[in-house]
Amino acid sequence: MSRLSGKVAIVTGASSGIGRATAKLFAAEGAKVVVGARREAELAELVREIRAAGGEALALAGDVQSEQYAKDLVAAAVKSYGRLDVAFNNAGTLGPIGPSTEVAEADWNQALAVNLTSAFLGAKHQIPALLKQGGGSIIFTASIAGNTVGFPGTAAYAATKAGLVGLTQVLASEYGPQGVRVNVILPAAIDTPMYREFNDTEDKQKFLTNLHALKRVGRTEEVAKSVLYLASDDSAFVTGTAHLIDGGFSVTRT
């Protein structure tokens, strides 16, 4: 039996990168998937691919900074598929890059809204729907930045991603007794559009690649498999964890 057979999942940030790969894997493993992001055309193509492969999915475009959008995603899942079992709150932004003393307050606040507040708003409205099924799984996407390492010039990104770890721990403690598991993934360098934006030269890519024990960056499909584990009953006794997916970055000093 597929690991998410009969389950309904929300995936945000699904138009590209880790979110896209995870939505496709969830669907392949039997989940009915509600995919969200700002880019409507990319979501429509994702849904077409999932359906062509025999899966079930629907798209709802919107801005994760909006609490109404968080409500609407849950409502779409319940209206179309009758329930909600899994939520992968994955949407994020790189935010302002540069010396911390030069970060504008408006840019800081937007990074906070997209990376951290949106995750809180998502969980706020997902948890009641999960509780109606006797529990479920919530997964956030953080980063090694703000946990394992502090990259210069990424104050807003690192601070917001570190905040997701604290949010994970609190929600896991609050709702664990009611069957809701909450975990967060900590990827290192993964070959996504955001990675390529931040590492836009061969020298930067070579430097970052060498920081990993495996001497390569990760693939989105590899991250998706870890998210699937946290979403499925394979991780039934796992909650409140910060799950490293870092190719040995955290242990490498060569």
Residues with a catalytic annotation lie at: 157
Structure tokens at 231: 């979403």
Query: Using CA atoms in the order 70, 73, 78, 83, what is the torsion angle rounded to 10 degrees?
Result: -80
List all residues 6 or more positions away from 90 whose beta carbon is below 8 Å from its beta carbon.
11, 12, 13, 14, 18, 19, 22, 139, 140, 141
Neighbours of 123 (CB within 10 A): 21
Cα separation, 126 vs 139, in Å, equals: 11
Please report how many Cα atoms fall inside a 13 Å half-sphere around the Cα of residue 121, on the Cβ side: 20
Cα separation, 21 vs 26, in Å, equals: 9
Query: In terms of Cα–Cα distance, which of 89, 145, 158 is closest to 118?
Result: 89
In eight-state DSSP terms, residue 113 is I
